[in-house]
Amino acid sequence: MERKRVFSGSRPSGRLHLGNYLGAVENWVKMQHEYDCVFAIVDHHAITTPFDPRELQTNTRDMLVDLLAVGLDPSECTLVIQSELPQHTELAWILGSITPIGWLQRVPTFKEKSEMHPDNVNLGLLSYPVLQAADILLYKAEVVPVGEDQLPHVELAREIVRRFNHRFGDTFPEPEAEVPRHTARIMSLTEPEKKMSKSLGPDSYISIGDDPETVKEKVMKAVTDTGPTSGEMSPGVANLFTLLREFGDEKQHREFLDEYEEGIIRYVDLKEATAAAIIDTLQPVRKRRQKLLQSPQRLREIMETGHERASTIACTTLREVKERTGLGPGREF
Ligand code: TYM
């Protein structure tokens, strides 16, 4: 039986962090064995917010290294760099021509990013979700493993599919987002009411490649509260519990929860245990990263193999789209 196609992507606007890992990439690693997966480093998306060309090059390589180090296996999935396959942007243009601007202006990330960078509200930022839809549709993906923040984008991709199929005939499946049950939204360590993100400063997130001292320092500085109250657990404390559950063991997590419920927890102990659990998990990842960084030839080969396979799929889809829309092939001259 044919395996379902999966697509997802990550922006190389910095290093892979624990939010990316728990919200999406951990699922990618699991899914690569069951599905036909294509994963992309989406550098065209990364240039919609301020960037430095040299850093973008390094970040793209580092993103590849991080993805491999956490367990993506190039013999089990297809890895691509978005800008190396022009079919992504070509399809985005066609989809952009059937997407009403009103749909795009309503997207929450457009509003957020425009406020964050008021002097750089560019066209790419507005059409960002169209390019994202093109990424998914180019491979006719049915499943899109992402964190919760990406749901509006996947919903928009579904709307674009409906519009395209209605106008030009059944071409694309409607993709479905797959969001993890417990880790759909990992919070920032410094501003725990916001999601963990590179844009909130280095202390707000933990990178996959952070060394043990840095991890410890960041976790110890994490914002909590002044002690348990009778109300709901504060977002900073809840976030530490999530990290401990994901990286540590269930028994330890249970013991701290009991202490929290009894009102006798010491946050310094919770932080120490959480930092230790993260450091333990990241140790082998760091080793694999270091090894991969020493073999640029291997990285090049991995990307070449990925591109070859991805471009076969991408060219087939684009040919079909162009035939259906009266562009290029099928002309009578
Ligand atoms: P990006 O690069 O911001 O993030 C990559 C993935 O990590 C998830 N994520 C989080 N999950 C939980 N908690 C967090 N704090 C957190 N921060 C990030 C994101 O939800 C995402 O799944 N627009 C996308 C990239 C993209 C894409 C695509 C995704 C481009 N084309 C096609 C899927 C399909 C983005 O900026 O992700």
Instruction: For 142-184, write each residue's pLDDT tens digit.
Output: 999 999 999 999 999 999 999 999 999 999 999 999 999 999 9
Each residue of 289-306: b (16+ CB within 10 Å) or e? beebeeeeeebeebbeeb
Q: What span, in angstroms and rounded, lies between the C-alpha atoms of 320 and 315? A: 9
Could you confirm whether 218 is annotated as catalytic? no
Pairing of strands 176-178, 36-41: unpaired
Task: List the catalytic residue out of 198, 216, 218, 271.
Answer: 198
- Sheet arrangement for strand 143-145: 78-81, 36-41, 5-10, 143-145, 176-178
Active-site residue, 30 included: no
d(CA 172, CA 273): 47
In the chain, the domains with their CATH numbers are 5-183+296-325 (3.40.50.620), 198-291 (1.10.240.10)
The amino acid present at 129, given as its one-letter code, is: P
Dihedral angle sign, alpha carbons of residues 47, 83, 54, 295: positive
Band (230; pLDDT cuts 50, 70, 90):
low
Whether 4 is catalytic = no
Atom of ligand 1 nearest to the CA of 7: 34
Confidence of residue 226 (pLDDT cuts 50, 70, 90): confident
CA gap 137, 156 in Å, rounded: 12
Tell me the CA–centroid distance for residue 23 and ligand 1, in Å: 8
The closest of 63, 65, 18 to 42, measured between CA atoms, is 63
Q: Please give the average per-residue pLDDT across 77-101, as a whole number.
A: 98
Is 0.95 surpassed by the pTM of this model?
yes
Beta strand extents in 166-261 (DSSP E only): 176-178
Which residues line ligand 1 at a C-beta cut-off of 6 Å? Answer: 7-11, 19-20, 23-24, 42, 45, 132, 135-136, 144, 146-147, 149-150, 153, 185-186, 195-197
Closest-lying ligand 1 atom to the alpha carbon of residue 24: 22
| pLDDT-derived band at 2, boundaries 50, 70, 90 | confident
Q: How far is the CA of 226 from the centre of ligand 1 (A)?
A: 32
Q: What is the mean pLDDT of the chain?
A: 96
